[in-house]
């Protein structure tokens, strides 16, 4: 993995972890960081809810595996990225005053989850990058993660619209990933 890719991967991890907290604090209708009184900024609630959703964290691991290059790099990059995202999430919560201090129990639990899921997601992202039919199951893990999270309360009062947007995005992503393989197969047959 190049240094540039590594730096971008870390930046994406920090943006996901801290971004979900900071945008949530800005979007809420109460608190010292609120941009506007209740109900706050609804569109920021969407974005904050998406960044905090389990599927977004799964997509981070898959994406880091996709860009890593080699299988070992993919597993390590996804694991490191998820660990950085977890740490930045809990540091941001403490920094904006959501929690009075760093919650070591939750941080440790989610770091453990990152250590378990990171290598798997990284390898799946690495496999999904190939342009063959054998890569399609790995590629469809991303939209499957998105669909599996629909109906959970990650976006609060914006739930119905947020769910519809996630379903549409999952469908578009699935079609794009399958079309990518179809296009590669078509080029090989010419």
Cα(123)–Cα(78) distance, integer angstroms: 8
**Burial bucket for residue 37 (CB in 10 Å: 0-12, 13-18, 19+):** exposed
Whether residue 155 has pLDDT greater than 60? no
Q: Do the Cβ atoms of 109 and 158 come closer than 8 Å?
A: no
pLDDT (tens digit, 9 = 90+) per residue, 5-23? 889 999 999 999 999 998 8
Query: In this structure, what token pair is assigned to residue 135?
Result: 């890569």
Q: What percentage of the chain reaches a pLDDT higher than 90? A: 52
Strand (E) or helix (H) holding 138: helix 136-139
Query: In this structure, what token pair is assigned to residue 11?
Result: 């930046």
Q: What confidence score (pLDDT) does residue 156 get?
A: 53
pTM value? Answer: 0.85
Q: What confidence score (pLDDT) does residue 101 get?
A: 86
The total domain count for the chain is 1
Of the candidates 5, 16, 6, 9, the one whose C-alpha atom is nearest the C-alpha of residue 88 is 16
- How much is the mean pLDDT over the chain? 87
Cα(102)–Cα(118) distance, integer angstroms: 22
- Write out the residue range of the structural domain in which residue 167 sits: 3-189
Q: What confidence score (pLDDT) does residue 37 get?
A: 66
Cα(104)–Cα(144) distance, integer angstroms: 31
pLDDT (tens digit, 9 = 90+) per residue, 70-98? 999 999 999 999 999 999 999 999 998 88
Lowest mean pLDDT among 38-52, 62-76, 115-129, 152-166: 152-166
């Amino acid at each position: 993995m190049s240094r540039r890719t590594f730096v971008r991967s870390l930046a994406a991890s920090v943006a996901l972890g801290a971004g979900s907290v900071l945008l949530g604090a800005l979007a809420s209708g109460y608190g010292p960081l609120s941009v506007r009184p209740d109900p706050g900024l609804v569109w920021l609630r969407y974005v904050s809810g998406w960044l905090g959703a389990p599927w977004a964290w799964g997509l981070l691991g898959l994406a880091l595996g996709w860009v890593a290059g080699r299988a070992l790099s993919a597993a390590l990059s996804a694991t490191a990225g998820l660990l950085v995202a977890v740490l930045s999430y809990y540091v941001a919560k403490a920094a904006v005053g959501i929690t009075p201090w760093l919650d070591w129990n939750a941080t440790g639990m989610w770091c453990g989850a990152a250590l378990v899921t990171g290598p798997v997601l990284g390898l799946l992202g690495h496999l999904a990058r190939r342009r063959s039919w054998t890569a399609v199951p790995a590629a469809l893990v991303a939209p499957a993660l998105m669909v599996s999270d629909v109906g959970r309360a990650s976006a609060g009062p914006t739930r119905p619209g947020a769910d519809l947007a996630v379903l549409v995005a999952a469908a578009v992503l699935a079609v794009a990933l399958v079309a990518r393989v179809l296009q590669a197969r078509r080029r090989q047959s010419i």
